[in-house]
Structure 1
Amino acid sequence: MSGQSPSQTQQGTGSKDKHHDAPPRPKILSNTLGLDLKTHAEYIGPTDYRDPFLLDLHRQNVDMNQDVPAPTPIATFPRRLNHRTVFLVHPDESAASETRRIADLDAIEATVHPLGRTLVDLYFRIVHPSFPILHKDVFISKHRLSHRHFAPSLLAAVYLIALDWQLYDSALAGREVESIPDPAALEELAERTMTQDMRRPKLSTLEAGLLLLQRNRRIVETGIHTHPTSSRMFTAQLVAMAQDLGIHIDCSSWSIPAWEIGLRRRLAWALYMQDRWGACVHGRPFLIQDSDWDVQPCSSSDYPELITMDDGSPDNSNSVISTGWDLFLRHIELTHILSDVIRTFYSAAATRTGGTIDQMGVVAAVELAKPLVFRLREWQACLPQQLQLQSTKLRELCANGALHLAHASIEIALHRALVRIMTPDTPGSLYDVLRSTARAKLQGAIELLGSLRPEHTAAFWASQAAYQAAEVGSLAGLLWVTADSFDEMAWCASRVDELRWALRVRGAAAPFAREALRLLERDIGGLGMVKSTSDVIS
């Protein structure tokens, strides 16, 4: 931030106040749909009672090739993006107070002053490369002009996330503790303004929600362990809001800037991953249905920071940017495999009495699992060198660990399902193969967690990481409770102790590991019995 304090931006009276309350809009926002500060756009679906074709008759209709005027309209008007897609653009004043927005932004900025610019730079250095849900140039250009260019919830969320890595900036690391911005104050402002911003949803509101969902550190350091369904309910709200924003629709031919098309795609797939992993770790149905999902895959053209070669391939000269983008794409690929695992082995249609699993039996179920096993193996074999776990660089954080844990957790989910469906009628040879393979995957996942270096644990980990690590313990407990020998029970108990140790020695530096240990000790109640029984056996 500049040397001017937030309070100074509010000095003056009359026309000067109005000028500060409405800083000039950056030109890069011209003709955008979901980023205007004065309006919010509502997608009109094909079955909406407001017929999309009739909306074309509205007198204030804006032509699809015409730039939307910057001043706030006095009434709602339709905006057609292509021959089949239309939005209603509403003035924000009908839903929330502009004066309230400015006051909230000033309060957020005052909380971090004079470190706003430092925190923004820290966010884009550490979090953004592997979780690219913001447009860096748009955000920074707006931030350099005025903190009042933002939705309050997004500004607070970026500051909050950045504070989690305060040790990685000399200006922050060298400050006295009492001069560090108060995360609790920012948390309160973020949550309150998020509620307000969802009444006038924009892309920035969705960005803020996704960022707030990733805060492992807040849960650990404050001791506030919300019920798992609370994050799931918040995700459901974000999904509903995103559908209002048309995030689930192919925007390739829309009359909006090319960079907004790319931003919408990145946001869409980040939300899709949040939904799928939330469904997995909490055992819930999907909120997003594939039949209603019409989003094109991400490509290098969707990421303006990525310099591309003449043939369209990424230029690896900026390794941090290209590696982070590749990480994001590989997470999406894994999420598609996870979707098929859940749909095949964990959906209500599959698991109910008399469902598809009961009908086919364990032998056929194993055959159904083989293509999924092959896809996971092929995915791992195709990882480039820079995404390998051991690919770390001197004095650089490495987010590859989160990618490999996600891969291991899908293998764990698949083998948990196969162990569960085995019956006394399962052929002996198949029974032995399934259990030995499950034990191998369990051992591999624990060794993965035990091999994480400080460069891995201090990098960005998404919110599902703690649950992914805890699910490793769930497989250990499941193998223990279904074991048919004391030796196998002792082996499983030993793996639980090994997992606990791997998480304990990393818990001080990695909030996700600390939270995973808490989930392991408290929420997976049966593992306490695993430990006590191992003591008896020994």
Structure 2
Amino acid sequence: MAAVMAVQPLAPRPSPHIIAAWPPPKPIIAGKESRPTHKQTEQSNSAARARRERPCDGCRRRKSKCVLQEARRCVLCEFHKQDCTFVENAQPRKRKLDDGSKSDTPSKKSPTTTTSSTASSSPRQQYTTPLASQLPAASLQTHIPSTVDESLSLQRHRHCKYLGPTTGLDASLIGLGCFNEKNETASQVGDLRQVTSSEYFSTHADADVPIPDDEARALAEIDATVGPHGPGLIDIYFRNVHPSYPILQKKVFLDRHRRGDRQFNPPLLAAMYLLALDWWSHEPKLAQHRKPDTARLEYIAITSLTIAMQRPKISAVQAGLLLLQRSKSSTWTLTVQLVALGQDIGLHLDCSDWSIPLWERRLRKRLAWALYMQDKWSALMHGRPSHINVADWAVSSPTTEDFQEDVSPAKEDSPDPEIAKGRTLFLQMIALTSIMAEVCATFYSQSAKAEYARAGRFATQLVLNRAKPVQIKLKDWFAKLPPECKMDAFTPKQLSSTGYLHLGYFATEISIHRRIVQSLDPVTADPYMLYICRSAAKTRLISAMDFVNRLRPEHLDAFWYFASTSNFALIGTFGALLMATSPAREEVEFYRWRLHEFKWTLSVSAKKANWISGALEMLEANLEMLKGLPEKGAAVPMKQAPPAQAPSRPRLEELHGSEGEDDDDDEDAMEMQDGYDLDTVSEEMDVDADGWSTELAV
């Protein structure tokens, strides 16, 4: 009898080792080469390069990267309108020793090896003379360790794509490969990088993607547009935008920028300049000069982003999100593209235990939630279905540690108060966005709309029943806001970005009551329920309008989230809806007066913040349509009297505070919210809609 041999199962490959967090950049003496990329290593194996592969004479003198085109003329020579020749011999280079002494022996390194001096490696340096002249000579001769090149999704010459569980490559088969110290193994479809025992990415050289590589030209055009004001605009960006929207690694960016490294992602740099230009007139040193052409910058940013998205990287997602913060540039199409791009590099996954640097894990988490908010608020703004599914979202909620720039917590024990406030606003906006997304799914999804249609005359009861849980969450979120997030928590003559958070709160509340009002049928609805629902909606509208009235210059001049224009417009739209559905002439006139007052407030605010003009245009469009509203009759007394306790509740006119009051408008809004509670009404109304719960929740 043949012996039976037991086959041992394949042992799973151990989890990849965690890549240690990278220390701060340390200066390295000029002349020492950084680790070459894979493509450069292959080139260095040859004894000499062909003429087409060597840099042209002009790029060799400038010590710039030579990017040849099909016409055998490099990009920089074509830009400078000069001949592109290959006749000069290479100049010998002298190496600087560690002790400061000089060596007369020329370097014997292969001419294909890339030098590590950031002052000579960038194709942009000749366009940044004003900045370079301000930097000390020592800083231009030092080398910055390629921290980004050790990352997963921020490498300069490589990009990655996430390999999902249903692709043609199975994780169990990939694990059989031979992995190097970077957890990478070669394959027919590119190098495969392991980040956990079951998660992999395919990495590819940027040069493998057949697209026009005009990055050097785009950077040159950006510099030509901005001129010598680039450093000043970068300072403005990190002072006014970054605290409330921390999707960049500030320390890494500034270290590279101040040391003369100019190999930044073109659309990202252009987007940063565009946002910073909003505060151009606030800077005395800049206001005296002519403002750069924003339309030209925006064109460069959008066109270069289209190319950058072909090579998925974190920098492309950052650039797209910053461009979308400009109200006029916020498009649904670009939002959807960014969601797809983020999924391409795995931003929807939990990276907390990946074998990538700690700073990159923190950055990915912040960026993922910024993308989540972009998708959800864009869906509300454009009336589209969200493209981020909760079932496929595995990113854990960020904590304060995820905002630390330094690996060592001791270095950020006490951040600047404004920076700490901005981080808190960002975290609170994430929590509010989750509630708002639930509102959209509960009331405005196609399945929800179909259920309300099937409910018929009981649709309002169904809407109210489903509104109560989400409204409790919203009320609880508001009640637990940290003190620094209150509207009155600002220093005079110092910008405060709390406005966009509270405006988002009012937009979420209005979205709930908008659906309730839409479900009301004056013919079949109970008169008292109709009165209560409309009174509650009226209260929310007044509190939102009063919030706009109380905005100060410190709020209007600060950073506002991209959805703010739409949220301002939503207040006017809600007022127009209440006016159009008003049952009596007196109520119509009330809303007509409030809407014209709101229009005046927006027109005054738009002079301080011109982006509000978009909300003003939407309000004017609604007012134009209201001209066709038929004449209403006089108010008819209610047939059913309110319960005994109703008269003791404050009237709307009493709740509406004057513009000159200094009381906290947030607490006023909460008082208004508690002014009309329908739980008592549901106890008195015995209505059953074939199983639909009749508990009212406003």
**Please, what TM-score do these two structures have when normalized by structure 2?**
0.68
- Whether the aligned pair in 1 keeps the contact of 2:189 and 2:202 (CA below 8 Å) is no
1:42 is matched with which residue? Answer: 161
Question: Cα–Cα, structure 1 residues 356 and 393, in superposed 2: closer, same or farther, change >3 Å?
Answer: farther
| Aligned mate of 2:542, from 443, 446, 462 | 443
Report matched runs for 1:11-30 at 5 Å.
Answer: 13=60, 16-18=63-65, 20-21=120-121, 26-29=145-148
Gaps of 5+ in 2: 1-56, 66-114, 124-142, 633-698
Distance 1:420 1:355 in 2: 12
Equivalent residues of 1:345, 1:357 under 8 A apart: no
Give the helix-richer structure, 1 or 2. Answer: 1
Q: Which residue, 501, 511, 521 being the options, matches 2:610?
A: 511
SS in 1 for 2:558: coil
Q: Percent identity?
A: 37
Q: What is residue 174 of structure 1 aligned with on the other side?
A: 288
- Contact 1:134 1:207 (C-alpha < 8 Å) held by counterparts: yes
Q: Does residue 194 of the first structure (1) align with residue 328 of the second (2)? A: no
Shift of 1:526: 2.6
1:155 equivalent to 2:269? Answer yes
One-letter amino acid matched to 1:17: S
| 1:288 has 2:335 as partner | no
SS in structure 1 at match of 2:228:
coil
Q: For 1:126 and 1:74, how far apart are their aligned partners in 2?
A: 47
CA displacement, residues 293-336 of structure 1 (integer Å, 9 cap, x when unaligned): 110101011101499989x9x96662101100000011111101
Q: Is residue 275–residue 287 contact of structure 1 (8 Å, CA) maintained in 2?
A: yes
Q: Cα RMSD over matched residues?
A: 2.9
Match of 1:4 in 2: none
| Cα separation, 1, equivalents of 2:164 and 2:628 | 52
- Please, which of 398, 402, 407 is the counterpart of residue 298 of structure 1? 398
State the alpha-carbon separation in 2 of the partners of residues 128 and 528 from structure 1: 44
Please give the alpha-carbon distance, in whole angstroms, between the structure 2 residues aligned to 1:235 and 1:330. Answer: 22
Match of 2:439 among 341, 353, 356: 341
Match of 1:278 in 2: 378
Report the Cα distance in structure 2 between the residues aligned to 1:185 and 1:39, rounded to whole angstroms: 29
CA shift for structure 1 position 21: 4.4
**Aligned partners of 1:475 and 1:110: how far apart in 2?**
46
Counterpart-to-counterpart distance in 2, 1:345 and 1:308: 45
- Which residue pairs with 1:185 in the alignment? 296
Q: Secondary structure at the match of 2:195?
A: strand
Amino acid paired to 1:343: A
C-alpha distance in structure 2 between counterparts of 1:63 and 1:523, whole Å? 62
Q: Displacement, 1:195?
A: 0.7
Spell out the pairing of 1:185-264 with structure 2 (5 A cutoff).
185-216=296-327, 219=328, 231-264=331-364
2:483 counterpart of 1:385: yes
The answer on whether the counterparts of 1:300 and 1:308 sit within 8 Å (CA) in structure 2 is: no
* Cα pair 2:161 2:344 within 8 Å, conserved: yes
What TM-score do you get using the length of structure 1 for normalisation?
0.87
Aligned length in residues:
504
CA contact (8 A) 2:248 2:363 kept: yes
How far did residue 465 of structure 1 move? 0.7
Displacement after TM superposition at 1:365 (Å) = 2.4
Corresponding residue SS for 1:47? coil
CA–CA distance in 2 between the matches of 1:288 and 1:261?
20
Shift of 1:471: 0.9
Conserved 8 A contact 1:96-1:200? no
Match of 2:274, SS state, is: helix
Equivalent in the alignment of 1:223: none
Corresponding letter in the other structure for 2:295 = A
Tell me if the contact between 2:490 and 2:496 (Cα under 8 Å) persists in the aligned partners.
yes
- Residue 470 of structure 1 corresponds to which residue in structure 2? 569
The DSSP-based 3-state class of the residue aligned with 2:562 is coil
- CA positional deviation for 1:38: 0.3
CA distance in 1, matches of 2:601, 2:594: 10
Match of 1:421 in 2: 519
CA shift at 1:386, angstroms?
Answer: 1.5
What displacement does 1:188 show? 1.4
The verdict on how the C-alpha distance between 1:115 and 1:356 changes in structure 2, with shifts beyond 3 A counting, is farther
Distance 1:287 1:98, change over 3 A: same
Mapped pair 1:324 → 2:418: no
Structure 1 position 149, deviation (Å): 2.2
- Deviation at 1:292? 0.7
Q: 1:265 aligns with which of 358, 361, 365?
A: 365
| Equivalent in 411, 422, 433 of residue 532 of structure 2 | 433
Q: Is the 8 A contact 1:307 1:315 kept in 2?
A: no
Secondary structure of the 1:114 match is: helix
* Distance in 1 of aligned mates of 2:492 and 2:413: 22
The alpha carbon displacement at 1:273 in A equals 0.7
1:370 counterpart residue number: 468
Write the letter of the residue equivalent to 1:151: N
Alpha-carbon distance, 1:422 to partner: 1.6
CA distance in 2, matches of 1:293, 1:143: 34
Alpha-carbon shift at residue 270 of structure 1 (Å):
0.7
Q: 1:33 aligns with which of 142, 145, 152?
A: 152
C-alpha spacing 1:100/1:148, structure 2 compared with 1 (3 Å): farther
How big is each residue's C-alpha offset from its partner over 1:142-177, in whole Å with a ceiling of 9 and x where there is no partner? 2223453211111111111111111232321232x2
CA 1:74–1:36 in 2, change beyond 3 Å: closer, same or farther? farther
